[in-house]
């Protein structure tokens, strides 16, 4: 029973995926090792750092503390699914413009958290942006530039309305 694999069928970045996974496998491991989605970073593996953040049915989760079997029937998005025809999304560009990327380890996770936030279409204060990004840690940037990037795109989106 222990080693018996379980079939998981789900959508990953718009594509139907079917994989046999171990019941003890995390979604992080499935995405990295079986699907080669290496933007999903393996950091603390205990839900503290957010490097492994992906979007499941519109909500961010830490894929290191989410079992792969739970992905059954769900819609999963990773950083690899964001670009369209080789072009970066606006928030990715803004991270570069604002110097919000240094070593880059935390960046995919931050981009996924920012993506959900921006798709909600709300305009938030800096404090509120910080709160919404508090599940992601960065050892390099000191956060200000990251918040600047999110704030910038949030304002742009609001002006376009």
Ligand X SMILES: Cc1cc2nc3c(=O)[nH]c(=O)nc-3n(C[C@H](O)[C@H](O)[C@H](O)COP(=O)(O)OP(=O)(O)OC[C@H]3O[C@@H](n4cnc5c(N)ncnc54)[C@H](O)[C@@H]3O)c2cc1C
What is the phi-psi region of residue 18: left when phi exceeds 0, alpha when psi lies from -120 to 50, beta otherwise?
Answer: beta
Q: Would you count residue 22 as binding another protein (CB under 8 A)?
A: yes
* Ramachandran area for residue 85 (φ above 0: left; ψ -120 to 50: alpha; else beta): left
Give the tokens for residue 81: 């699914």
Asked if 24 is part of the footprint of ligand X (rule: CB under 6 A), the reply reads no
137: contact with ligand X by CB under 6 A: no
If one asks whether residue 132 binds another protein (CB under 8 A), the answer comes out as yes
Q: Is 122 in the site for another protein (CB under 8 A)?
A: no
Retrieve residue 155's tokens.
């304002």
Of the pair 1, 46, the CB lying nearest ligand X is at 46
The dihedral formed by the CA atoms of 22, 27, 30 and 35, expressed in degrees to the nearest 10? 150
Asked if 44 interacts with ligand X (CB under 6 A), we say no
105 binds, options ligand X, ligand FES, another protein, none, Cβ within 5 to 8 A by partner type: ligand FES
Question: DSSP string spanning 6-44?
Answer: EEEEEEETTEEEEEEE-TT-BHHHIIIIIT--TTS--S-
* Beta pairing partners, 87: 84
Say which DSSP state 127 is in.
H
Q: Is 64 in the site for ligand FES (CB under 6 A)?
A: yes
| Least separation in angstroms between CB 45 and ligand X | 11
Q: Residues interacting with another protein, by CB under 8 A?
A: 1-2, 6, 22-26, 29, 45-48, 50, 53, 59-62, 65-67, 69-70, 113, 130-132, 134-137
Q: Which residues sit at the interface with ligand FES, rule CB under 6 A?
A: 42-45, 47-52, 62, 64, 101-106, 138-141
Please report, as ranges, the residues that interact with ligand X according to CB under 6 A: 47-48
């Amino acid at each position: 029973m222990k080693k018996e694999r379980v079939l998981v069928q789900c959508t990953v970045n718009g594509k139907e995926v079917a994989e046999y996974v171990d019941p003890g496998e995390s979604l992080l491991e499935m995405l990295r090792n079986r699907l080669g989605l290496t933007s999903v970073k393996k950091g603390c593996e205990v839900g503290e750092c957010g490097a492994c953040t992906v979007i499941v049915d519109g909500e961010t989760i830490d894929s290191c503390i989410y079992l792969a079997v739970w992905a059954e029937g769900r819609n999963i998005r990773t950083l690899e699914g964001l670009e369209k025809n080789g072009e970066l999304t606006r928030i990715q560009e803004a991270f570069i413009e604002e110097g919000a990327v240094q070593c880059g380890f935390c960046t995919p996770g931050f981009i996924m958290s920012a993506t959900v936030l921006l798709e909600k279409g709300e305009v938030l204060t800096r404090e509120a942006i910080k709160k919404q990004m508090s599940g992601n840690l960065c050892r390099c940037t000191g956060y200000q530039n990251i918040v600047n990037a999110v704030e910038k795109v949030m304002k742009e989106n609001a002006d376009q309305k």
